[in-house]
């Protein structure tokens, strides 16, 4: 005989109550925090992670200026900048979804571990719902992965490696800045036009992810038009004097030197190349030429007169609308806002950070939610205009922006310290667009968006 | 053969910078027994003396009449340089052009002053402390100094070119019987090499042929006995600290046209200079100079494509490999003295 009080009805009751009891907290939790750092008050916090110390601190300072300006404009302060020229009209100066925008900042130090730590702190302690900024691809890739895990959106700053939206792409990450492939695709036809199709290239490449992808891209693009790469030498990122790498170029038979360097490396390698008379040299019956695929106004300033006549590419230039017309509307509005507040024109790093902040805010407004998955959905395949780069697409397949690329050349006689480059050509977006399965971007998977919580 | 000659020349100017910084380091170690990790910062401060002089010569005011519009579309007023107003166009332009060599006159008293302040204000309190304490405090000082410079001058490199007369390069190959354009070497790098030899020679002559130098050398050999003779050796050592700071500073001043100076350039040289000092032999002045040039040349050769094809990455580690080999075979370094850092 059994004395058990278990009955079928009792078991069902108990199960029902138990299940409801277990589900209750989760139900309330998921309602309270549908996603990481869901803003519940009258404000929303954005996290700006830029190099505030280290060699790219000046670039980081310019990014931060642009972020501050963007926040002011979103909150209805100042002259509104590119809000009035942006093709999407959801931003009306009342913040994002009616919430006043506030921000916190982190110092990436241009070190992946430090950048991850500062981003993590902004997400966990300050409740940042979006992270943006940075001046290095290594940092961008690291922070993008962190944001994916944490369930917040990452709007990349200055990152040019193919890997950011290639093998290391993530669903929660978006890049407005152009990449190494686009630089090469934009430069190659201009180089052919300027220097001919029969050239021998010697390249010096910074030995890290950005340098490798830049070298691979420029090699493919220039060889496709007839140039030959006779040597590629990897240089340590910590190198300061490049004379011993430049010297072998003299007798290599090359008539073009490609410097796949950025920042201090670029300033020093270019300075050394000019000191060794490469710019005055004749090889194979042609003038020796130097190409710097990725330009930066701040680095051009650092290189001084050595930049004169050197061809490279940029994501944007503050003279674009004046020189190339209304297609680049938004440029002048941003330059006026930035110039009035800070007294000098913005850099391309500043423009990309400003645009990313507006794009994020607009995506939230359009999706009517701060939920990262809603933002992802709003940004994927989004076509826009009026942010200074001309018509632009945020491609769904890889979260890369496709827009025109600016080919520039160092001015021989700059009129002032802001006017260091001249625009040679603007290569249309369709000439720099590649298939999502391009081998240079292979190996990655966006995965699914992660709302966190 | 041409590549060997070219890399030897490259090594000499690299070695010049190593030798000058290492000379100052070993001078301070030999006299005061202090391991000075702020010595790279002194090299950087010297470079920024040149930047400062260059900026001073380019101080300007706005012209009274507008000559166009600026990037905002507002009236643009040209900059009028004070130096041209005061000294005339020709002399003004000459002063700006020669600002780097002229900076030497500015840098000597400034760097000696900084050396005195560093030694009297901070380092003297650490004479009797362990080397680890000295390293920590001087490394901290180096970081403070570079952050101060970054605050005032920014993080971006600042172009500081050589005088027009020394821009461009010299065709060494033709002189040696090679074809034109085979061995080309920048004029300013030759100037830097000659300058460093003169400076090294000057320091050695000062120590060798002056009474002051003789006392300092005696103090380096046996501080206590010199003190017992009634000579204030501490005062002389403080002066030597100032001189060592000036040597590092002058190396920095003349280096600015080779690579645009930035706030962390001192750190780039610091570790290598310490390796140079250790390889040369702690406290040995000729050892520091010899090791500086030797490692500079080796580093250049390791960058040759032919060498890197055999041992990939050797250019990044050659100095440390050589240091290990020398310290294994000669634990006191190339010219180290017995008893130094062996207690």
> Over the stretch B54-83, which tens digit does the pLDDT of each residue have?
999 999 998 888 888 888 888 888 889 999
- Convert the pLDDT of each residue in B207-231 to its tens digit: 899 999 999 888 888 888 888 888 8
Among B11, B71, B316, select the one facing A318 at the smallest CB separation. Answer: B71
Task: Tell me if B72 and A58 make a contact (CB, 8 A cut-off).
Answer: no
ipTM of this complex = 0.85
Task: Decide: residue A201, CB within 10 A, 0-12 exposed, 13-18 middle, 19+ buried.
Answer: buried
Dihedral, A139, A142, A143, A148 alpha carbons, nearest 10: 160
Closest CA to A373 of A299, A288, A447: A447
Task: Write down all domains in chain B, each with its CATH number in brackets.
Answer: 2-59+77-329 (1.10.3470)
Give yes or no for A340 touching B (CB within 8 A). yes
Among B72, B150, B269, select the one facing A57 at the smallest CB separation. Answer: B150
Give yes or no for A306 touching B (CB within 8 A). yes
Residue B17 and residue B177: Cα distance in Å, rounded? 29
Mean pLDDT value across residues B10-29: 88
Residue A318: closest CA among chain B residues belongs to which residue?
B71
Reported residue count of chain B is: 343
Give yes or no for B119 touching A (CB within 8 A). no
Q: To the nearest whole angstrom, how far is the Cα of A338 from the nearest Cα of chain B?
A: 10
Residue B302: closest CA among chain A residues belongs to which residue?
A244
Q: To the nearest whole angstrom, how far is the Cα of A399 from the nearest Cα of chain B?
A: 31
CA angle B206–B209–B211, rounded 5-degree value: 90
pLDDT of residue A433 exceeding 90: yes
Task: Write down all domains in chain A, each with its CATH number in brackets.
Answer: 43-176+322-398 (3.40.50.2300), 181-314 (3.40.50.2300)
pTM here is: 0.86
Task: Tell me if A57 and B304 make a contact (CB, 8 A cut-off).
Answer: no
Reported residue count of chain A is: 453
Residues of A in contact with B305 (CB under 8 A): 231, 233, 248
pLDDT number for residue A422: 94
Residue A276: closest CA among chain B residues belongs to which residue?
B186
Task: Give residue A405's pLDDT band: very low, low, confident or very high (50, 70, 90).
Answer: very high
Residue B59 and residue B56: Cα distance in Å, rounded? 5
Closest CA to B39 of B196, B193, B146, B199: B146
Residues of B in contact with A304 (CB under 8 A): 159, 161, 260
- Convert the pLDDT of each residue in A130-158 to its tens digit: 999 998 899 999 999 999 999 999 999 99
CA angle A238–A244–A249, rounded 5-degree value: 115
Closest CA to A422 of A317, A328, A321, A327: A317
Mean pLDDT value across residues A210-218: 95
pLDDT number for residue A3: 47
Task: Tell me if B168 and A277 make a contact (CB, 8 A cut-off).
Answer: yes
Task: Tell me if A251 and B3 make a contact (CB, 8 A cut-off).
Answer: yes
Give yes or no for A145 touching B (CB within 8 A). no
Residues of B in contact with A268 (CB under 8 A): 157, 259-260
Residues of B in contact with A318 (CB under 8 A): 71
Q: To the nearest whole angstrom, how far is the Cα of A59 from the nearest Cα of chain B?
A: 8
pLDDT number for residue A21: 47
Give yes or no for A418 touching B (CB within 8 A). yes
Residue B330 and residue A453: Cα distance in Å, rounded? 61
- Convert the pLDDT of each residue in B137-167 to its tens digit: 999 999 999 999 999 998 889 999 999 999 8
Task: Tell me if B157 and A419 make a contact (CB, 8 A cut-off).
Answer: no
Task: Give residue A24's pLDDT band: very low, low, confident or very high (50, 70, 90).
Answer: very low
pLDDT number for residue B160: 93
Residues of A in contact with B14 (CB under 8 A): 241, 243-244
- Give the contacts of A155 (CB within 8 A, at least 6 positions apart): A130, A131, A132, A174, A176, A356, A357, A359, A360
- Convert the pLDDT of each residue in A408-430 to its tens digit: 999 988 877 788 999 999 999 99
pLDDT number for residue B124: 86
Contact B270, B40 (CB under 8 A): yes
pLDDT of residue A4 exceeding 50: no
Least confident of A2-11, A29-38, A68-77: A2-11
Handedness of CA A179, A185, A191, A196 (dihedral sign): positive
Closest CA to A243 of B189, B269, B255: B189
Residues of B in contact with A305 (CB under 8 A): 159, 161
Average pLDDT, chain A: 91
**Distance, first Cα to last Cα, chain A:** 51
- Convert the pLDDT of each residue in A147-204 to its tens digit: 999 999 999 999 999 999 999 999 999 999 999 999 999 999 999 999 999 999 999 9
**Distance, first Cα to last Cα, chain B:** 47
Task: Tell me if A240 and B303 make a contact (CB, 8 A cut-off).
Answer: no
CA B231 remoteness from chain centre: 31
pLDDT number for residue A280: 86
Residue A263: closest CA among chain B residues belongs to which residue?
B156
pLDDT of residue A13 exceeding 70: no
- How many contacts (CB atoms, under 8 Å) link A and B? 121
- Convert the pLDDT of each residue in A48-99 to its tens digit: 999 998 778 889 999 999 999 999 999 999 999 999 999 999 999 999 999 9
Residue B67: closest CA among chain A residues belongs to which residue?
A415
pLDDT number for residue A309: 93
Residues of B in contact with A306 (CB under 8 A): 159
Among A55, A241, A247, select the one facing B259 at the smallest CB separation. Answer: A241
B residues 129-148 lying closer than 8 A (beta carbon) to A: 147
Residues of A in contact with B268 (CB under 8 A): 238, 240
B residues 175-194 lying closer than 8 A (beta carbon) to A: 181-186, 188-189
pLDDT of residue A26 exceeding 80: no
pLDDT of residue B274 exceeding 70: yes
pLDDT number for residue A60: 93
Task: Tell me if B258 and A241 make a contact (CB, 8 A cut-off).
Answer: yes
pLDDT of residue A119 exceeding 80: yes
Residues of B in contact with A267 (CB under 8 A): 157, 259-260
The H or E element containing residue A5 is none
Average pLDDT, chain B: 89
Give yes or no for B10 touching A (CB within 8 A). yes
Task: Tell me if A268 and B259 make a contact (CB, 8 A cut-off).
Answer: yes
Among A58, A250, A304, select the one facing B159 at the smallest CB separation. Answer: A304
pLDDT number for residue A2: 43
Give yes or no for A419 touching B (CB within 8 A). yes
A residues 57-86 lying closer than 8 A (beta carbon) to B: 57-58
B residues 58-87 lying closer than 8 A (beta carbon) to A: 70-72
Residue A55: closest CA among chain B residues belongs to which residue?
B155
The H or E element containing residue B307 is helix B305-310
pLDDT number for residue B68: 82
Express as a percent the part of chain A with pLDDT over 70: 93
- Give the contacts of A140 (CB within 8 A, at least 6 positions apart): A134, A156, A157, A159, A161, A164, A175
């Amino acid at each position: 005989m059994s004395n058990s009080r278990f009955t079928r009805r009792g078991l069902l009751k108990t199960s029902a109550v138990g299940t409801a009891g277990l589900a209750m907290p989760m139900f309330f939790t998921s309602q309270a925090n549908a996603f990481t750092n869901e803003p519940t008050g009258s404000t929303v916090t954005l996290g700006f992670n830029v190099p505030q110390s280290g060699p790219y601190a000046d670039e980081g300072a310019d990014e931060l200026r642009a972020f501050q300006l963007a926040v002011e404009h979103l909150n209805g302060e100042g002259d509104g900048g590119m809000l009035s020229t942006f093709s999407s009209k959801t931003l009306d100066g009342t913040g994002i979804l009616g919430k006043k925008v506030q921000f916190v900042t982190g110092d990436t130090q241009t070190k992946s571990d430090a950048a991850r730590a500062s981003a993590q702190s902004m997400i966990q302690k300050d409740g940042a719902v979006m992270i943006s900024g940075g001046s290095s691809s290594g940092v961008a890739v690291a922070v993008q992965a962190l944001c994916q895990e944490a369930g917040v959106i990452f709007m990349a700053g200055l990152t040019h490696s193919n890997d950011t939206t290639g093998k290391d792409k993530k669903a929660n990450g978006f890049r407005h800045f152009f990449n190494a492939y686009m630089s090469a695709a934009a430069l190659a036809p201009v180089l052919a036009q300027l220097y001919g199709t029969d050239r021998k290239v010697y390249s010096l490449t910074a030995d890290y992810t950005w340098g490798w992808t830049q070298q691979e891209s420029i090699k493919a693009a220039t060889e496709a038009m007839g140039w030959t790469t006779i040597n590629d030498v990897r240089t340590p990122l910590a190198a300061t004097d490049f004379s011993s790498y430049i010297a072998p170029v003299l007798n290599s038979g090359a008539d073009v030197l490609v410097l796949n360097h950025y920042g201090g490396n670029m300033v020093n390698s270019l300075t050394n190349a000019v000191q060794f008379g490469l710019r005055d040299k004749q090889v194979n019956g042609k003038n020796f030429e130097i190409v710097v695929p990725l330009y930066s106004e701040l680095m051009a300033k650092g290189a001084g007169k050595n930049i004169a006549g050197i061809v490279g590419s940029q994501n944007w230039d503050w003279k674009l609308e004046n020189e190339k017309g209304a297609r680049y509307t938004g440029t002048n509005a941003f330059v006026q806002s930035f110039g009035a507040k800070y007294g000098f024109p913005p850099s391309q790093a500043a423009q990309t950070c400003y645009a990313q902040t507006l794009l994020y805010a607009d995506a939230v407004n359009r999706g009517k939610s701060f939920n990262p998955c809603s933002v992802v959905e709003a940004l994927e395949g989004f076509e826009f205009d009026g942010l200074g780069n001309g018509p632009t697409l945020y491609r769904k397949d890889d979260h890369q922006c496709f827009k025109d690329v600016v080919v520039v050349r160092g001015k021989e006689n700059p009129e002032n310290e802001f006017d260091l480059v001249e625009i040679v050509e603007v290569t249309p977006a369709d000439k720099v667009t590649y298939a999502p399965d391009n081998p240079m971007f292979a190996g990655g998977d966006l995965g699914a968006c992660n709302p966190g919580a | 053969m041409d590549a060997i000659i070219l890399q030897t020349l490259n090594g000499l100017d690299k070695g010049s910078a190593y030798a000058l910084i290492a000379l100052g380091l070993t001078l301070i170690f030999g006299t005061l027994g202090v391991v000075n990790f702020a010595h790279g910062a002194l090299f950087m401060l010297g470079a920024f003396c040149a930047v400062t002089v260059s900026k001073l010569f380019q101080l300007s005011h706005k012209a009274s009449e507008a000559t166009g519009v600026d990037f905002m579309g507002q009236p643009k007023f040209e900059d009028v340089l004070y130096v041209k107003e005061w000294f005339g166009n020709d002399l003004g332009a000459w002063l700006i052009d020669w600002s780097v060599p002229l900076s030497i006159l500015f840098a000597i008293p400034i760097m000696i002053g900084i050396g005195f302040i560093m030694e009297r204000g901070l380092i003297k309190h650490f004479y009797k402390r362990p080397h680890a304490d000295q390293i920590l405090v001087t490394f901290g000082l180096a970081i403070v100094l570079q952050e101060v410079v970054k605050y005032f001058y920014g993080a971006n490199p600042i172009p500081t070119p050589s005088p027009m007369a020394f821009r461009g390069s010299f065709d060494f190959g033709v002189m040696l019987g090679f074809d034109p354009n085979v061995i080309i070497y920048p004029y300013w790098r030759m100037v830097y090499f000659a300058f460093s030899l003169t400076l090294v020679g000057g320091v050695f002559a000062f120590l060798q042929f002056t009474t002051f130098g003789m006392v300092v050398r005696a103090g380096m050999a046996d501080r206590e006995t010199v003190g017992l003779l009634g000579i204030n050796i501490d005062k002389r050592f403080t002066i030597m600290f100032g001189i060592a700071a000036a040597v590092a500073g002058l190396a920095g001043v003349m280096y600015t046209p080779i690579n645009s100076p930035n706030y962390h350039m001192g750190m780039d040289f610091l570790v290598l200079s310490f390796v140079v000092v250790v390889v040369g032999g702690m406290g040995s002045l000729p050892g520091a100079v010899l090791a500086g040039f030797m490692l500079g040349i080796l580093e250049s050769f390791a960058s040759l494509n032919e060498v890197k094809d055999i041992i990939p990455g050797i250019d990044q580690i050659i100095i440390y490999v050589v240091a290990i080999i020398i310290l294994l075979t000669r634990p006191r370094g190339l010219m180290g003295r017995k008893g130094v850092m062996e207690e």
